Structure 1
């Protein structure tokens, strides 16, 4: 360790942190690549919601691959080994990736809201969905651009540092992080909290006495599983990133904390927790969704103790009959509800438009 770097850790602690960060890298990249493969390789999985999940998986895999381990190496050694170009990328890409992740989740929440609360309104087409995804990444680049523009390296005795050379070093870093916290954390979580609350009240308050339709109850159950899964995804993200944002707010308000002898351990902990958010979603999908679970079985079918049944194959591949049946059922139920409710003032009686990717 360089003598000029004040935070020196014993080898055993560095080894433990190395295992922790390497585990995030391996699980996040491998798991999210499988999610991407499941969606792209199976036509039945190519739906609006799943395209946003694909975007979420791509941003999570990219963050883990390009930033998690590099951040750890720099935090431990205090010496930047990777050049000025990667310094700019290292500061720029995490904000871009997190923006894409959180707003993909927000887009899913809004899409679920429209599908369940306003089922008769047109759904997003594939073309519009792609446009939304491109817009998300474009806005992410704009928000993160100052980090890329002002990032640079500087040679010091015994080491090189990578930092953001803000015009006003006293005020700009803290103000920028407040803006990032609001736009990347507070605002989207508020939007998702409101939409999922409305959706949850509608779904879990939708038991209608006398309505014994098996299809109605089956679709209601499926929609509840979708919303439950997405709420778990959002809550996991929020819990993982909360300490990270609090860390920068607190240290921004009291810069003396940066000289505390345990501050490096605190930073490595909150950074690991934030980076670990990239590895949980594939596990959540596999546990809570039958089609993703089938996809993971197919991906790991080379393992002797994992077998995909003929039903599993049917679950992902038989799209035409399923879509025709769902289209007919949806049309019948929408006509029934329109005749029954008139202007659909009772949304709980409205047809919860079926989406083939989330039956479980």
Structure 2
């Protein structure tokens, strides 16, 4: 994954001779301490923000049933891939780039070269799956959406393909002791064409092709959602649905654009290294590589920030997760609804509640028509001078109770319908 180091030669070391004609190896990429400290701070920020933010995203989705939607399952997979890459590769990449020596053994060398490609593949193809899901939901709304089981199968397939693509990096990884240092590199076969073909295919499959697919999908979706104006007589429910869809698509466009910007310099650097290796033997290239790698790795920390800024549910989840922090303002957690039984029952109960409202309203109307004669009957004396208004009075109280129930059910149905229309589509 690191083209600066995956080489069988030693371009980073120069040779010189002493008075005894012994060959001495000197590392031309040694940096001053102050520069290493600055880079260490920069990379540490990536690791901390990425791991904390993505783990929080995973908790928000897994801990709340309402958040377990098709889109959010792919976001969970994206968060897992990014948090893993930050935890297992960012620090190692930085240490190797700064010291230009491998300290972590042959087993981790294989993992170090294998996992980043798999994680980046899983990340960008999770975004692609979200783009295609949004396309189907908006352009073909009558077609059946993916179920939870199907979504998990797709995630499994993505990781299977990711590992298959990264396997050559694992297979050809090697650790070798050179005079004065240890290198972790990819020991490709003598046929150099296979190495170039592989790296070009990797760049296409984990960057250019997925971005092309997502660009086309979001272009069509954007034209559908924003090009046409909302009809003047549209219902509130229609406007809420359209607004919810626009918010989701807007958030994902920002996520994809951020990923594309962060990884473009790295892939350009990668390809240039394959076709023009002599360009990368200069001492300044180490600083260029550290900057490009920092930008690429930083893509793992932006998504939680984007979710928090552009999605009400994730914002409520982050407020709940960091409610202990004095700098986090107290906000209503109702938007996330941890124990969202009302949401889980909405789809099955809204129809029953509507029928109940109709039935009770009919009974109430009949009761109102009959109430006046019954009250008059109560005024007259019965046999023996006793009042005969007890039963009609009881019926009147029952009808009054039913009337309250009707108003309560009507209010509940109205609130439930509003809740369902405004929140169910904000996946």
2:187 is aligned, of 125, 149, 165, to 165
Alpha-carbon distance change, 16 to 207 in structure 1, aligned in 2, over 3 angstroms: same
1:37-61 per-residue CA deviation (whole Å, 9 max, x = no partner) reads 0000111101110000000000000
1: CA distance between counterparts of 2:52 and 2:302?
12
What's the offset of the Cα at 1:318?
Answer: 5.9
Three-state SS of the structure 1 residue aligned to 2:231 is coil
Structure 1: distance between partners of 2:423 and 2:143: 15
Preserved CA contact (<8 Å) 1:47 1:357 = no
User: What does residue 326 of structure 2 align with?
Assistant: 304
| Preserved CA contact (<8 Å) 2:63 2:338 | no
Select the structure of larger CA radius of gyration: 2
Tell me by how many angstroms 1:324 deviates. Answer: 5.3
Alpha-carbon offset, residue 163 of structure 1: 0.2
| Residues 1:316 and 2:346 are matched in the alignment | no
CA distance in 2, matches of 1:323, 1:187: 38
Shift in alpha-carbon separation, 1:87–1:134, aligned structure 2, 3 A? same
> Residue 292 of structure 1 corresponds to which residue in structure 2?
314
Structure 2: how far apart are the matches of 1:277 and 1:305?
A: 25
Distance 1:62 1:84 in 2: 20
Cross-structure match for 1:349: none
Following superposition, which runs of at least 4 residues in structure 1 exceed 6 angstroms of deviation? none
Cα gap change, 1:208 to 1:283, in 2 (>3 Å)? closer
Partner of 1:77: 99
Partner of 1:133: 155
In structure 2, runs of 5+ residues without a counterpart are: 1-11, 14-24, 355-420
Q: Is the 8 A contact 1:104 1:133 kept in 2?
A: yes
Tell me the CA shift for residue 312 of structure 1.
1.7
C-alpha separation in 2, matches of 1:12 and 1:357 = 51
What do the CA deviations read for 1:288-342 (whole angstroms, capped 9, x no partner)? 0010000000100111343544x4235333634345556769xx9xxxxxxxxxx
- Name the CA shift for 1:95/1:46 in 2 (closer, same or farther; >3 Å): same
Structure with greater contact order relative to length (CA < 8 Å, sep ≥ 6): 1
From 41, 56, 61, the equivalent of 2:78 is 56
2:424 is the alignment partner of 1:356: yes
After TM superposition, the structure 1 = structure 2 runs for residues 195-274 of structure 1, keeping only pairs within 5 Å, are 195-274=217-296
Aligned to 2:209: 187
Q: CA RMSD in A?
A: 2.1
d(CA) in 2 for partners of 1:357 and 1:315? 14
Query: In 2, distance between residues paired with 1:78 and 1:115?
Result: 49
Residues 81-117 of structure 1 show CA distances to partners (whole Å, capped at 9, x for unaligned) of 0000000000000000000000000000000001111
Q: Which residue of 2 aligns with 1:45?
A: 67
Using the alignment, how far apart are the partners of 2:307 and 2:425 within structure 1? 11
Residue 158 of structure 2 is aligned to residue 90 of structure 1: no
Q: How does 1:12-51 map to 2 (within 5 A)?
A: 12-51=34-73
| Offset at residue 357 of structure 1 (A) | 6.8
Q: Deviations over 1:194-224 (max 9, x none)?
A: 0000000000123243332011011101111
- Asked whether the equivalents of residues 266 and 293 of structure 2 are also in contact (C-alpha less than 8 Å), the reply is yes
Q: Which consecutive unaligned segments of at least 5 residues does structure 1 have? A: 333-352
| Corresponding pairs, count | 336
Q: Secondary structure at the match of 1:215?
A: helix
Query: Aligned equivalents of 2:339 and 2:235: distance in 1?
Result: 24
Question: Whole-Å Cα distance in 2 between the matches of residues 277 and 51 of structure 1?
Answer: 19
**Matched-pair contact (CA < 8 Å) for 2:46–2:301:** yes
If the length of structure 1 is used for normalisation, what is the TM-score?
A: 0.88
